[in-house]
Chains A and B, each alone.
Chain A
């Protein structure tokens, strides 16, 4: 009846409203498995890791967090530092590059920049390990070109810098993609006006494109930062035995080698908080 009266008044009847009750029930039933998979495979484990982080030997305790503080507090700073360096590198290259490509379109450059999107994280980790190793293929090439003396080794590659470079290599593609989309959304007339006042390419990027695309830049930054903070396969493939480690590597060893699920979960909760902190900071700056 409702549908009929809506029709009589000239209103439209949406196809969904024409579904019979049995049909609707079947559709909802068909939608349940996907929800169940996410709840069983992610929602429930997420909650379990939260409770497990406060449990030891069946009792509620903060002992796991104490251990995290005692053993891994340096690694929290190390992880944030590596992610920040990676982010700086990604955007330090990504913003001028996307801006340049917005002003001077280049098919070849854009195609090349898409390549890392299709290279899985594990492969990036292995490729960078081989490439940046103290006597890796980068050094071999530099030798072959006669740019460095034969007895040099690349000292930086095994530490935080190598990790930051690898993370930036992988994330640059996504960041450029997001930024180019945002920069393309900036109307050409603003750039024409800037050029009319004599602004060169650098001024056009900094004074027009970046401020107008600020929300997208913020989103791209939060997306890459949370991904870098939680990065696991790249540091695992590049990891060395000693020195500070990324938090996810600590978590993996705590869980795999020590079988200490409680402390591993506490490290996990710290990583949730770091990710949530980045997201919160972004949301607050958007809301302003």
Chain B
């Protein structure tokens, strides 16, 4: 296509820079509107998190302070935070160990059942989660898993495996088989080839997939509420309880804390996050 352009004809500008004053104004207006629409609601959280006293009809809080932010360092909020992080760490480790073999198998072995197994790992995204998790909670009560750390990890693992298995399968598929063949032809065993050649090459993708699972677990609400509450409380459940009791400041502080990992990831890794990972994030 490129070569066929008549000599002398100017290539069309592909959105390279605005042309003229009108375009500059239009572009600025677009960014301003997006800023207001996207950041506006989040700024409301910031305002509420520092509002020590805010009675209607005052437009802004009458008294601003960090009283509610101090709650992070003490008591129940800190407890929910550390519990959530430890649940997320265990969930991530478990997802990593269990996903690698099945993802590698799905990427390499050409089995008739391969696609069926992969579809199995889409189920938790295809069906509404709440009714299934309610049903799982009934089972977990029977098995004495409800209200336990292990039970919450298990329910997080159900959702988390969707992310890890699918992203890792894509990662392993992207690694050429030729390089494994070379190792095998030099006498390495299949398993040795995997651990010495394939896994190191897949490491960046495996790390990205683990971050995905970690953040999923940290943010998971539905399963934790049904299986864990009231004995195992993580930050999202803590935030819900606070907001039920009209403790809007506490809920807003918690909401902002919950946003930190995602925002850090977005700012630090924006250029490296491929569209397919981002699409998974949209489902959190």
Contacts and interface: CB of A to CB of B under 8 A. Distances in A.
Contacts of B44: 127, 130-131, 136-138
B93 to A, nearest CB: 13
A254 B251 CA distance: 26
B34 interface: yes
Contacts of A173: 282
A20 to B, nearest CB: 7
B207 interface: no
Nearest to A49: B135
A115 B38 contact: yes
B134 A264 contact: yes
Given A45-B139, A105-B14, A122-B221, A114 B102 contact: no
A138 B190 contact: no
Is chain A's binding surface mostly helix, strand, loop or mixed?
helix
A186 interface: no
A150 B152 CA distance: 47
B46 to A, nearest CB: 10
A275 B126 contact: yes
27 contacts: A14-B181, A15-B183, A19-B190, A31-B105, A38-B161, A41-B136, A42-B123, A45-B136, A45-B139, A49-B132, A104-B23, A112-B35, A117-B281, A118-B281, A118-B284, A123-B255, A126-B243, A127-B41, A130-B48, A130-B248, A132-B41, A143-B59, A144-B59, A178-B279, A261-B134, A267-B131, A279-B126
A27 B189 CA distance: 13
Interface centre among A31, A140, A195, A252 (most CB of B within 10 A): A31
Interface size class of B (residues with CB under 8 A): 35 or more
Contact of A131 (B41, B130, B133): B41
B105 A121 contact: no
Interface string B229-264: 000000010011001000010011001001100110
A227 interface: yes
Interface in A156-211: 169, 171, 173-174, 177-178, 181, 187-189, 192, 195
A119 interface: yes
Nearest to A233: B221
